[in-house]
Amino acid sequence: MVTKKEKLYEDLLRLRVVSFDDIVERARSIIDAAPRRGYVYRKYVRRLVDEGRLLRVRKGLYLVLSPLETPEDHVADKLLIASKVRDEYYLGFHTALEYYGCAHSLYNQAYVCVKRVDRFDPFQYGRFSFNPVFVDDAEFEVEDKQYRGHILRVSSKERTFLDCLDRVQYAGGWEECLKSLEGLGDLNFQKLVNLLLKREKEILFRRAGYVLELLKNQSPFYEHLNDHLLNRIAETVSETPRYMVDGEKGRLNDRWNLYVPDDFEEKLRGI
């Protein structure tokens, strides 16, 4: 006879990564009651952890091992863990670039974008680190994506492009950012420009215009970018020069009224 603990384990196994809330929710249908959280932990969670079938990532978050896995040979999935840290979130910046398959490098960090009310302390699991990035809006241009039988919330390609240029430190710095955006295909350029103009952040207008123009001449994913859209961005640029990289001098790009470091374009070429 299959015990309730075994039924719960088999149910959790399909999820691979579970929060304690997930476990309580699934325990309700198996126990045929509304179990107390403390009871679920003592009766099921603690026993499954002791048996090596649940691995604790952090308080309230667990990995579910298959019968053939051991804690030593289990390979954790960074994106699945990141998707379970908070209910209201999205995977953004370099983590979104990794999801879209265009990140120039694979990082051990995961950026989980949340509003400040949903903040969490950064934590480490194995070689991976999980870090909050505070955002004002965790819903706009966030899409549900299928991933290994799960749903991940990921910033749209257009929002990812703009977010990375706006807060480049979360995209790996300028060289990693440019090389990654170079491979970000299937962008809706009309949508991208519309989103940009809603940002009302002039330095971002200039950065986006300059980088789009640069990529138009470098990447096949951008070669069909309409000049009319670049002109729309250029119309927003004021007469006061700004710096592409804070504090770094360089030549003045007349179209974008932007001081660009002399070696900036070489970052894309990897020189």
Domain span(s) for CATH 1.10.10 in the chain:
4-64
* Structure tokens belonging to residue 49: 């952890």
pTM of the model: 0.93
pLDDT of residue 196 exceeding 60: yes
- Report the distance separating Cα 205 and Cα 207, nearest Å: 6
- Report the distance separating Cα 70 and Cα 74, nearest Å: 6
pLDDT of residue 233 exceeding 70: yes
pLDDT digits (tens, 9 = 90+) for 93-126: 999 999 999 999 999 999 999 999 999 999 999 9
Q: What is the pLDDT of residue 271?
A: 43
Residue range 135-156: mean pLDDT, rounded: 95
Pick the CATH number of 4-64 from 1.10.10, 1.10.8, 1.10.287, 1.10.150: 1.10.10
Phi-psi map region of 200: left, alpha, beta (phi>0 left; psi -120 to 50 alpha): left
